[in-house]
Structure 1
Amino acid sequence: MSFLSAVAVVSFLSLFGQAQTESPTSNQTSPAQQDAAPTNLGDVEVTARRLETQVQSFINDVAAPAKGRGLARWDRSICVGVTNLDGRYAQFMIDRVAQTASAVGLDIGAPGCRPDIMIIATSNGRELATKLVDDNPSGFRPSRSNTDLGSAALERFKSSDAAVRWWHVSLPVSVDTGDIAVRLDGEEAPNIAVRDASRLRSNVRDDLARVMIILDVSKIGSVGFGALSDYVAMVALAQIELGSDATQYDSVLNLFGPGEKPTGLTQWDRDYLASLYAARRDRARPDQQSRDIIRGMVGERSVRLRAHDPHP
């Protein structure tokens, strides 16, 4: 890693919790049609029930919220940085992530913004991950709880042989003010009372604070760069478990798995991201948030089914 790249990574890890302020009518039916309606609606309902089960399984299999928390997402904006790639490829990847982020309603930081999504290419992913974590452990685990997947997961991040590895840091924050609602190492406990989880609403939401993504170019192989960039976008915008098995789903997450390679984000991926970012932010329990995501995906696909989309 070059000196300039190292400085950029250290700067990225030293930032914490700083929001990026720079921007980048029903028709009447005839009696005959009314008689036929129950059969058609029945097909849709059966499909919806099956899809609900699939979405819940997807969340169970691949989603990775911080311990004891709901799934986090970016709040309003992101800033993407790529280092150790040729400038043309770096810009392509930044643009691809930005396009996906814009599609779910996020603003993009202007050139020169401070990255909260840092993507680093290297010829030895394990060595780089180990060095970064050992040099600045608090950058990866700023709190002993509520912000990440824990020490065992961090060891897997360091030792993984994956072509792409990532680490999310999220923060419980006040729904009303955006203030951090968890004690960070070396800081006083915040004066924010978390509402009883038995309620339907909480006064705390979960925000992504930063994501580190390492590309091991010695292991990426012959996958298309567009597909790789979409894979990066998926894990940058959603908490996905490193090493999870997504083979049962039509997802870009299968890019490095067996069989035919996806060419980019699938409709399943786009629906999942759209539903994650449309879910209510103040859900008191993770299962309530999951139901929001399920309803969102079922709604997206039901619209296409009714429109006779051949690829719902």
Structure 2
Amino acid sequence: MKCDRIYSGLFTLLVAAGLCFSTGGALAQEAPGEPEATQVAPVTVEGRRLADQVRNFVGEVAAAPRGQQLARWDGRVCVGTVNLDPRYGQFMIDRVVQTAVSVGLESGEPGCRPDILIIATNDGDQLARSLVQDSPSGFRPARGGTDLGRAALRRFQNTDAPVRWWHVSLPVSVDTGEIAAALDGEEYTTISVRDASRLRSNTRDELRRVIIILDVSRIGVVSFGALSDYVAMIALAQVDPQADTSSYPSVLNLFNDLAEGAEAGGLTDWDRDYLTGLYRARDDRARSSQQEREIAREMMRASDGNED
């Protein structure tokens, strides 16, 4: 698959003739023949308090670039798919958009240029390597702290995972939303410092690009609804691709559960509470560890509400 360069702030991908490319956020009711997702059963870990479970889950899943805050989308997101049947591509877009709206985001208009790009392929390694070779600065901008680093990018290109993803984030001013550093060799913007604090920062980190590759040769037989929810989770949050979530009820166990012969469903309460906590947490925390504690507190509050 031949893909053009990825430009600043979003992915512009020109694909060979015959591939399906769709974008937008109009909500569809269902995909043709799509079965209802089966909810993942709750997991009980003996001898561990719920609060400890929640904190450990957050610590396992969250993956901010070194020295940076956890990033999230701000305002509106545009989702696009490549090489999926238009009906199923739209279904996946809608699932991501529905989850985005549930945490307070808005959907881009149909035909918008995607900043969340989902590509299906028969050879994930080859596609990932081609994309990185074609636009190395699109994956690792000149400014540090926008991604997980060189070793993680090598894993992105060579993993045997059925689904792989890559996030790029940028620091922006808490007060104005102005970008603190530009992408792709553009000039840096100076952000004035109004105060100094160990608890608060003058900048926050925003997600700017996410590319997700679905390797259909490795995915196997899964519910398309569950796969779409899996994509929504990794599209809206910086999830560690190496996270071990096997002890927790999460859609991130989709492929682990299938390997064990179990039925896996879509987003769980834990997943939704994690995303809600991420988007409710203060965006001016000085460190990602502070955000993680706040997310855990939000998850605990949601758990208390669910028990009422």
TM-score by length of 1: 0.82
Letter in 2 for 1:286: S
Contact map agreement 2:70 2:238 (CA 8 A) in 1: yes
Partners of 1:256 and 1:198 in 2: CA distance? 42
Q: 1:101 Cα deviation (Å)?
A: 0.6
1:285 has 2:278 as partner? no
Q: Secondary structure at the match of 2:245?
A: coil
Contact map agreement 1:272 1:293 (CA 8 A) in 2: yes
2:163 corresponds in structure 1 to: 164
Q: 1:144 Cα deviation (Å)?
A: 4.2
2:9 corresponds in structure 1 to: 16
Deviations, residues 12-31 of structure 1 (Å, cap 9, x unaligned): x213279xxx987xxxxxxx
Deviations, residues 258-297 of structure 1 (Å, cap 9, x unaligned): 4324210011101101111111111122222112111110
Letter in 2 for 1:14: Y
Q: 1:142 Cα deviation (Å)?
A: 1.1
Matches within 5 A, 1:49-198: 50-182=49-181, 184-193=183-192, 198=197
Partners of 1:58 and 1:194 in 2: CA distance? 34
Percent identical: 61
Q: Secondary structure at the match of 1:240?
A: coil
User: Number of residues paired by the alignment?
Assistant: 272
Letter in 2 for 1:279: A
Matches within 5 A, 1:262-301: 262-301=264-303
Partners of 1:151 and 1:92 in 2: CA distance? 33
1:27 corresponds in structure 2 to: none
Deviations, residues 2-56 of structure 1 (Å, cap 9, x unaligned): x7xx35xx4xx213279xxx987xxxxxxxxxxxxxxxxxxxxxxxx92322122
Report the structure number with the largest CA radius of gyration. 1
TM-score by length of 2: 0.83
Tell me whether 238-247 or 220-229 shows the greater mean CA deviation.
238-247
Call closer, same or farther: CA 1:195–1:134 in 2, change over 3 Å.
farther
Letter in 1 for 2:9: F
**Greater relative contact order (Cα < 8 A, sep 6+):** 2
2:254 corresponds in structure 1 to: 255
Q: 1:185 Cα deviation (Å)?
A: 4.8
Q: Which runs of 4+ in 1 moved over 6 A?
A: none
Call closer, same or farther: CA 1:195–1:150 in 2, change over 3 Å.
farther
Tell me whether 98-107 or 184-193 shows the greater mean CA deviation.
184-193
Deviations, residues 115-147 of structure 1 (Å, cap 9, x unaligned): 000000000000000000011100001134110
Tell me whether 168-177 or 193-202 shows the greater mean CA deviation.
193-202
Partners of 1:131 and 1:200 in 2: CA distance? 41
Matches within 5 A, 1:221-260: 221-257=220-256, 258-259=259-260, 260=262
Contact map agreement 1:85 1:121 (CA 8 A) in 2: yes
Contact map agreement 1:194 1:202 (CA 8 A) in 2: no
Contact map agreement 1:72 1:239 (CA 8 A) in 2: yes
Q: Please, which runs of 5 or more residues in structure 2 have no aligned partner?
A: 12-23, 27-47
